[in-house]
Structure 1
Amino acid sequence: MPELSDRRRLPQRAAVVSIVVVALGLAVAEAFSAESVPTGVGLALCAALPVFVLALTTVRPAAVAGVAAVSVAFTAYCWLARDWPDNTFGVVELAGLAWLLVHGVVQFPRLRAAGASAALAVAIVLLPLRVGEVESEYLGLMAALLLLGVAFLVLLGLYLRLHDRRRADGFELAKQAQRLAYARDLHDFVAHHVTGIVAQTKAVRYTTAAGITPDPADLDAMLAGIELAGSRALASMRSMVTTLRDDEPAPHLPYRTLGEVVDAAVGGFSPTGPAVTTALDTELATRPLPGPVLDAAHHVVQESLTNVLRHAEDAAGVEVRARPGDEGLLELTVTDDGTPAPQGTGGHGLVGLEERVGAAGGSLVAGPAERGWRVTALLPVKGSSAP
């Protein structure tokens, strides 16, 4: 893996080396155009410093301030000593300072970016002072044009800084959404099967603790249920691990109608739990629905039945009902007749359900009923409004 990473960086490194070589070559050419050795050395040094700083792995504000200070010092020498370059004030240096200015605005913290930008702006605007043969009015015009260029570079750096910030925020939001999706899948699938294992294990312990010799057929059925729930939990875990390794979204459930979804969720319910009855509108039960809606409906029924096992141990029955709601919505309710209890308190089940139903374009309400607990989901029939 490190070798592969190095190979991918080779073109970038080659481009950097090429730019450095070309810039240094132009700097040497400018240096030879000077009439005196000090001026030639100064031109070459002032052109090379920005190039070397930009080639560093990490560009620091102190290094940028040092480059600006050297540039201003050389400009002051040319003006005071009347030792001006012959044909140029340092085109390569100007390009390097401009690049440093944009880089500093984009990468540095705000206060350090402001300080580095001010130092570089002074160095850039003072560059015309190295050209002593130009009349004063042209000198001011050149400085004004350079000042406008500095303003443009600052605006460009601010735009790139904002673009990077938005991209980073978008990446963090995507990671957060991915983590929430994985958390929901782990809770909805694995916790559901584990809850079934726990409920059936309690039934076996209750039977044996009461001193009653369980019927071999009943005991075998309960152990088979535990085995089936464990196998389903392992299969769900393998599916989740595969999704994480391949970095692909979890596949939707292979159902096309609400009736298939409800039958699958009820069929996977613990045999030791309360009896489950269904009352589905015939047209809704057989009508093909969008994948996100069916996925949300499946998790509503599954999580509600899991919460019955966890929080309503005295429940004798559960009803799953689906009927047309207002404004073309599907109203799906799961109601148990146990003692009302704040299901999901301190957990993440209802929170995950609200997120799933909301992503499908619907809404979720959960609370005590006349007797027991009721979960009601309103889902769109025609499709999902989720982005």
Structure 2
Amino acid sequence: MNAPGFSTWWVRLGQLAGLAALALLGAFDLRYGLYTGASAFEALRALGQVVLAVLTAVVWLPVHRQGSRSLPLAAFVLGAISLAVTFGFVVLSASGRYLFGGSWGLAESAGMIAVVFVVTRWGAARLAPWAAVLAALAAAALPLRAGTEYVYVIFGLLQALAAVGAAAIGIYLRVVAAGRERAIALVRAEQRAEFARDLHDFIAHHVTGIVVQAQGARFVAEQDPQRVIVALEQIERAGAETMASMRRMVGVLRNPDAPPDAPLAPLAGVADLAPLLEGHNGTTTTPARLYVDGPLDGLPVEVSTSAYRVVMEGLTNARQHAPDARSVAVSVRRTPDWLLVRVADDGATPRSAPARGHGFGLLGLTERVRALGGTITAGPGISGGWVLDAAFPLRTAVAR
């Protein structure tokens, strides 16, 4: 279960820290370049280097989407400008028109290394490597603005190593994010396939019943016509419910490897919540209590089974991540238009996203609930503990 905004705060804090560091380095560059007696050219160079450092912040500071094409293009242009400025200083020095000295631009160096990280982390896969290489070369060449002695060459190599390290971190985080995206997609696909299998069982059950009722009606048609009318009403009701469920589940993915003759196992629904809580209470010291408000009969099968899964997920999370909880309250309330389900524990142990199983269980459950047009939320309760809420619409379903 995710803590809303948790990762965003860390990103913002990192950006603020980067801006503060860039400002300090920029102040040092200005102070070192504008020392007493400095030439106008030296002062202009210091200001230009600070401007280039600000341009790097324009590239790495915004939050970019994964696979951005504009990000590596901007980094490529910025790296090319930086290399051109460095090359110009070297040419001017070689011709005797410029004497080495001052700072080579520490703020620009730090900003260029940050650009390498951002490009490798979020840039488009085809453009990011070239832009990262150019930005790393620009960072490595920056010390040459202050001189070509071996000490500046060493500083250039150190900045090149820092750029390589930034690229390695960016690539690692990119791979981790891609792995998580694949895991999320797999969970969603598995949940949809499971939902499709449930729907298969439900439809097969009703179609089988329709066939049996139709066969029975044919045999009793001459002896008892009234029983034929009752059978036809049952056939009509079962057929309407089956078609409604099929319409509600259009777009649900189906496992192509599932056998066509899947067994007609009964589906667990809200009627089975009491045995579920009994099983939970038998395996933990935290008792779970069920509170029901309103009739639970006649619910659409997909709503009933999904509500059961919500309760099962809530009890599993409470058992695994709230060992200090004293009780778990399971509430099921039916209104004319909604079925509301809540699982709340009173555990005092703080729970963040990693502590809640990386959210994959909740992610799959969210996919199931949204497929029905419902909503689901999870987070800390007002008085402590953890609360899982789900709401299923009933108006668009045909009651059983």
TM-score normalised by the chain length of structure 1: 0.51
Tell me which of 236, 241, 259 is aligned to 2:301: 236
- Checking the alignment, whether the CA contact within 8 Å between 1:103 and 1:157 is kept in structure 2 is yes
Match in the other structure for 1:269: none
Q: In 1, distance between residues paired with 2:15 and 2:169?
A: 25
Alignment partner for residue 158 of structure 2, among 145, 168, 172?
A: 145
Cα deviation for residue 15 of structure 1 reads: 3.3
Contact 1:46 1:93 in 2 (8 A): yes
1:40 paired with 2:53, answer no
Q: Deviations over 1:111-132 (max 9, x none)?
A: 3122112211210110110222
> Is the Cα contact below 8 Å between 2:140 and 2:159 reproduced in 1?
yes
- Aligned equivalents of 2:32 and 2:167: distance in 1? 31
Deviation of 1:34 after TM superposition, in Å, equals 0.7
1:157 to 2:205 alignment? no
Q: Give the equivalent residue in structure 2 for 1:22.
A: 20
Over 3 Å counting, the alpha-carbon distance change for 1:118 and 1:56 in structure 2 is same
Q: CA deviation at 1:110?
A: 3.3
Q: Which of 161, 167, 189 is the equivalent residue of 1:176? A: 189
For residue 301 of structure 2, what is the amino acid of its counterpart?
S
- Amino acid across the alignment from 1:22: A
Q: Contact conserved, 1:33 with 1:85, CA < 8 A, in 2?
A: no
Q: Deviations over 1:64-118 (max 9, x none)?
A: 01211222123234334435552x3222222221222122223223331221122
Q: Give distance in 2, aligned partners of 1:167 and 1:106.
A: 15
CA RMSD of aligned residues (A): 3.9
* Alignment match of 1:197 (pick from 206, 210, 217): 210
- Which secondary structure state, in structure 2, belongs to the residue aligned with residue 110 of structure 1? coil
Match of 2:72 in 1: 61
Larger Rg: 1
Residue deviations 1:223-275 (CA, integer Å, cap 9, x gap): 6865896799754232145468x5976999xxxxxxxxxxxxxxxxxxxxxxx
Residue by residue over 1:140-162, the C-alpha shift from the partner in whole angstroms, topping out at 9 and shown as x without a partner, is: 32233333333333333332222
Residue number in structure 1 paired with 2:30: 31
Deviations 1:317-345 (A, max 9, x none): xxxxxxxxxxxxxxxxxxxxxxxxxxxxx
**What secondary structure, in the 3-state scheme, does the structure 1 residue paired with 2:304 have?**
helix
Match of 1:111, SS state, is coil
Is the aligned partner of 1:76 residue 2:75? no
8 A contact 2:22–2:111 mirrored in 1: no
User: Which amino acid in the other structure matches residue 154 of structure 1?
Assistant: A
Alignment check: 8 A CA contact 1:30 1:90 kept: yes
Aligned partner letter, 1:213: E
State how far apart, in whole Å, the 2-side matches of 1:34 and 1:176 are: 60
Determine helix, strand or coil for the equivalent of 2:127.
helix
For residues 71 and 14 of structure 1, do their structure 2 counterparts lie closer, same or farther at Cα, with a shift above 3 Å needed?
Answer: same
Q: Distance in 1 between matches of 2:307 and 2:210?
A: 24
Distance, in Å, in 1 between the alignment partners of 2:189 and 2:78 is 41
What is residue 280 of structure 1 aligned with on the other side? none
Contact 1:193 1:230 in 2 (8 A): yes
Matches within 5 A, 1:215-254: 215=224, 218-219=227-228, 222=231, 226=235, 234-240=299-305, 242=307
For these two proteins, the number of residue pairs brought into alignment is 240
Secondary structure of 2:126's counterpart equals helix
For 1:231-380, list aligned pairs within 5 A. Answer: 234-240=299-305, 242=307
Measure how far apart 1:44 and its partner are. Answer: 0.8
Distance 1:243 1:38, change over 3 A: farther
User: Which residue of 2 is the match for residue 123 of structure 1?
Assistant: 138
TM-aligned CA distance change 1:55 to 1:98, over 3 Å: same
Match of 1:101 in 2: 116
SS for the counterpart of 1:115 is helix
Higher RCO (CA < 8 A, seq sep 6+): 2
- CA distance, structure 2, for counterparts of residue 247 and residue 127 of structure 1: 60
Native 8 Å contact 1:16 1:55 kept in 2 = no
Q: Deviations over 1:26-60 (max 9, x none)?
A: 22442232133211211211211111111234352
Structure 1 109/40 Cα, relative in aligned 2: closer, same or farther at 3 Å?
same
Return closer, same or farther for 1:167/1:49 CA change in 2, 3 Å cut-off: same
Kindly, what percent of the aligned residue pairs are identical?
26
Q: Retained in 1: the 8 A contact 2:72–2:128?
A: yes
Alpha-carbon contact 1:51-1:96 (below 8 Å) kept: yes
- Checking the alignment, whether the CA contact within 8 Å between 1:31 and 1:39 is kept in structure 2 is no
CA shift in 2, pair 1:243/1:104, >3 Å: farther
Q: Give the 3 Å change call, closer, same or farther, for CA 80–55 of structure 1 in structure 2.
A: same
Q: Which stretch of the first structure deviates more once superposed, 10-19 or 168-177?
A: 10-19
**What is the one-letter code of the residue matched to 1:177?**
E
CA gap of 1:243–1:39, structure 2 versus 1, over 3 A, is farther
Provide closer, same or farther for how the CA distance between residues 65 and 51 of structure 1 changes in structure 2, counting only shifts above 3 A: same
Name the SS of the counterpart of 2:132 in structure 1: helix
